[in-house]
Chains A and B, each alone.
Chain A
Amino acid sequence: NAGVTQTPKFRILKIGQSMTLQCTQDMNHNYMYWYRQDPGMGLKLIYYSVGAGITDKGEVPNGYNVSRSTTEDFPLRLELAAPSQTSVYFCASSYSTYNEQFFGPGTRLTVL
């Protein structure tokens, strides 16, 4: 099993550009999450999904959108990138909310 995979690993965006961060898991988990980690901080939840077709906002959803058309994939869309979105983005999945979350390797995004 590959677990949770994320692409790209690194990306530099200009202000106002858009991009999609890809996330795929092969563990058949219904629950998936997107977090961001700012320097020296813990993770903050951006969006989460409890199954295909169902998504909801986390703590810091502004400037982001998600979709969940399949169990495996949970892409995160950044529209009109801003310097405040410079961060490391982690995708995670879990069997249930009571179980540990498995994290992808992260995407380091810089907006200049």
Chain B
Amino acid sequence: AQKITQTQPGMFVQEKEAVTLDCTYDTSDQSYGLFWYKQPSSGEMIFLIYQGSYDEQNATEGRYSLNFQKARKSANLVISASQLGDSAMYFCAMREGRQMMDSSYKLIFGSGTRLLVRP
């Protein structure tokens, strides 16, 4: 079964508007972490934001925020005030388990969402 699901293969957003990229996850662990990475057309993977399962507040990093709904097992990325440079692939990833557990070394990636920002 897929552990990370990104249901939007592609999305458009108008420049300066906000956009939400969906991510749902599946785990039976109580301790886990959720990451979002950006992959521009140049190919590198850029870390954006992290949410721990025990974090009570939603994570924010500049224009990025993570809408974490634990009961629904969703960790949606919100990008405010979109810029042309935000056009890229976005990957949601999950780390399961506690520190030093075998599963904790592995990031499980979703299939990604391609975002295109229109001028």
Contact = CB atoms under 8 A, between A and B. Distances in A.
Interface of A: 31, 33, 40-45, 48, 50, 56, 58-59, 88, 90, 92, 96-98, 100-106, 108
B68 interface: no
Closest 6 interchain pairs by CB? A42-B109, A103-B45, A100-B47, A97-B104, A43-B109, A48-B105
B106 A58 contact: yes
Interface string B27-43: 00000010101000001
A43 B99 CA distance: 21
B56 to A, nearest CB: 17
Interface of B: 4, 33, 35, 37, 43-47, 50, 52, 91, 93, 95, 99-100, 102, 104-107, 109-112
A44 B47 contact: no
21 contacts: A33-B107, A42-B93, A42-B112, A43-B107, A44-B109, A45-B105, A45-B106, A45-B107, A56-B105, A58-B106, A90-B45, A96-B99, A97-B99, A97-B100, A97-B105, A98-B33, A98-B95, A98-B99, A100-B35, A100-B50, A104-B44
Given A40-B111, A58-B105, 8 more contacts: A33-B107, A41-B111, A42-B112, A43-B93, A43-B107, A97-B100, A97-B105, A101-B35
A41 B110 CA distance: 8
B91 to A, nearest CB: 6
Contacts of A100: 35, 47, 50
A48 B101 CA distance: 13
Given A42-B112, A43-B91, A97-B99, A102 B47 contact: yes
A78 to B, nearest CB: 19
A42 B95 contact: no
